[in-house]
Amino acid sequence: MLQYALTRLAEFLPVLFLFLVLIFVIVHAAPGDPITYVYGPHVASAEALEQLRALYGLDEPLPAQFARYVWRLLHGDLGRSVIGGHPVLGVILTHIPPTLLLMGTATVLAVSSGVLFGALAAHRPHSMLDIALTVGSLLGYSLPTFLLGLLLIMLLSVTVPVFPTLGMTTLGAQYAGLRHVLDVLHHLVLPAIVLASWYLAIYARMTRVSLLAALREPYIATARAKGLSEVRVVFHHGLRNALLPVVTNLGLQLGSTITGGIITETLFAWPGMGYLTYTALLQRDYPLLIGIFLISSACVLLMNLMTDLAYAHLDPRIRF
């Protein structure tokens, strides 16, 4: 297992380099640039804009810009944000904790509820509970994230002002300690529900289908013949093997955690990586965009490896 993990990690480097080439080309191929965004033709003359582009090296051929970026990257430098002038790595590290809090909360809520609902539906197939959970999961899967967010804002923030709509903390408040934690949790409720709803529906459907197939296997009949309780048969023997597709999807979800909540974070102005990505796209901040996508790609590759290792833990046959 250790040798396998080290081999996969070594394979990540060329794959990550190919990602970097693709990201670099796509970002620079988009219309506009950060200089035009900041100054524009109505603020500075064409000569002044060209001088600013030369200052940031944006007038050089793309291969020369890429070579300079790779050289800096090998020295641990992701560059500086063209808009703010701050180090890209520092900006990203500042916005990662809010995203981890949001995505972590949504993931725990989605996985725990989705697996439970799917197992209950599979345990009583074609019952009223199964039909209700199936219809609910289909609605959760079909409803667009931004539409659900707007509905919750209208219902629970405007019509009935229970939860705040924007930000991670109350604007202008100087809370500390427990009061600060409660304030953050208060702002977390709506975006976490919105982000978890789509994943919850997927996990519920996956668990139901996979568990129904597992409950038809001969080892389930053997477990029942031994006199084991139905709860132990379903949740211990059947559910463990049924979780493999869930683990696959969970690995993909966690791999895209960095930028996975762009719509939700933008809708609720949550100061995480998704909102930062949206802002960097609008501003055409090349170094910041490339840094975000590069780190996100590395997270996807790493989570793919973690998913494979989790497979081997859930099903020992895969180790061979």
Can you spell out the DSSP letters for 234-261? IIIIIHHHHTHHHHHHHHHHHHTTTTTT
What is the arithmetic mean of pLDDT over 63-85?
86
Considering the chain, what percentage of its residues have pLDDT values greater than 90?
A: 7
With a cut of 70, say whether residue 268 has pLDDT above it: yes
With respect to residue 124, please indicate whether it lies within any of the assigned structural domains: yes
With respect to residue 213, please indicate whether it lies within any of the assigned structural domains: yes
Banded pLDDT at 185 (limits 50, 70, 90): very high
Report the chain's mean pLDDT, rounded to a whole number.
83
**Phi/psi at 124 (nearest 5 deg)?**
-125, 70
Rounded distance between C-alpha atoms, residue 126 and residue 132, angstroms? 10
pLDDT value, residue 44: 62
What is the arithmetic mean of pLDDT over 88-112?
90
SS3 1: coil
With respect to residue 260, please indicate whether it lies within any of the assigned structural domains: yes
Per the structure, how many domains does the chain have?
A: 1
Considering the chain, what percentage of its residues have pLDDT values greater than 70?
A: 92
With respect to residue 219, please indicate whether it lies within any of the assigned structural domains: yes
Q: Which residues pair with 80 in a beta bridge?
A: 87
What is the arithmetic mean of pLDDT over 296-311?
80
With respect to residue 198, please indicate whether it lies within any of the assigned structural domains: yes
What is the arithmetic mean of pLDDT over 67-75?
89
pLDDT value, residue 46: 72
With respect to residue 141, please indicate whether it lies within any of the assigned structural domains: yes
* Residue 231 vs residues 198, 239, 242, 282: alpha-carbon distances, Å: 28, 10, 15, 52
> 86-100, 162-176, 249-263 — which is least confidently predicted?
249-263
List alpha helices for 176-316, DSSP H: 178-214, 218-225, 230-232, 239-242, 244-255, 262-267, 273-283, 286-314
Banded pLDDT at 260 (limits 50, 70, 90): low
SS (H, E, C) 32-85: CCHHHHHCCCCCCCHHHHHHHHHHCCCCCCHHHHHHHHHHHHHCCCCCECCCCC
With a cut of 80, say whether residue 253 has pLDDT above it: no
pLDDT value, residue 43: 61
Q: What is this structure's pTM?
A: 0.81
pLDDT value, residue 258: 65
Residue 214: other Cβ atoms inside 10 A: 20
With respect to residue 56, please indicate whether it lies within any of the assigned structural domains: no
**CATH number of domain containing 151:** 1.10.3720.10
With a cut of 60, say whether residue 320 has pLDDT above it: no
With respect to residue 48, please indicate whether it lies within any of the assigned structural domains: no
With a cut of 60, say whether residue 132 has pLDDT above it: yes
**Residue at token pair 């020369």:** 64
Print the domain residue range for 227: 95-266
How many Å from the N-terminal Cα to the C-terminal Cα in the chain? 10
Task: Count CA atoms within 13 Å of residue 254 on its CB side.
Answer: 19
